[in-house]
Amino acid sequence: MPQDLTIARVLHILAVVVWIGGVAMVTSVIIPAVRRMKNKGEMLAMFEELEGRFSLQAKWMTLLAGLTGFYMLYRLDAWDRYLQLRYWWIHAMTLVWLLFTVVIFILEPYVLHAWFQKMGEKAPERTFRIIQRFHWVLLLLSLLTIAGAMAGAHGWFWVN
């Protein structure tokens, strides 16, 4: 494999590890810990502070994953894989990347932040339950995609 593709793959995998690893941390550790807080007013502030710190990392890592992923597709001239069902994981990677990109770059700053503030003050428990379910869906979709991509990259195709 040419060196530029190796570097792109390494950067791509590192970006995904940091990005999805952070999503796993927020989903399985931070949100449950915040939900157990006794002071409901502090729940919002604590979650905003903790997720806010991860948000910048997630933005950079999502951007890096997207750039390296599309670079590899371009460099390998592998666009035709979008037309083959056996490469479903490339579709899934693109979908997961697109979902996260829309959420963190568009919906979160322009829609979700205001919704979170409004709903979090009215019904914090319900709000955090919704947020946690949403995070679990994204995390599980991401992990399935990672498993499919790793299997597919090593020649194991679930669909022929």
Residue 154 DSSP label: T
CB 96 within 8 A of CB 142: yes
For position 160, what pLDDT does the model report? 63
Question: pLDDT per position in the chain (160 positions), as tens?
Answer: 799 999 999 999 999 999 999 999 999 999 999 999 888 778 888 888 888 888 999 999 999 999 999 999 999 999 999 999 999 999 999 999 999 999 999 999 999 989 988 988 888 889 989 999 999 999 999 999 999 999 988 888 776 6
Q: How far apart are CA 12 and CA 61, in angstroms?
A: 9
HEC assignment per residue over 55-71: HHHHHHHHHHHHHHHHH
For position 19, what pLDDT does the model report? 97
Residue 86 DSSP label: G
Q: How far apart are CA 139 and CA 84, in angstroms?
A: 25
Tokens of 55: 């948000």
Q: Would you list the domain boundaries of the chain?
A: 3-153
* pTM of the shown model: 0.89
For position 138, what pLDDT does the model report? 96
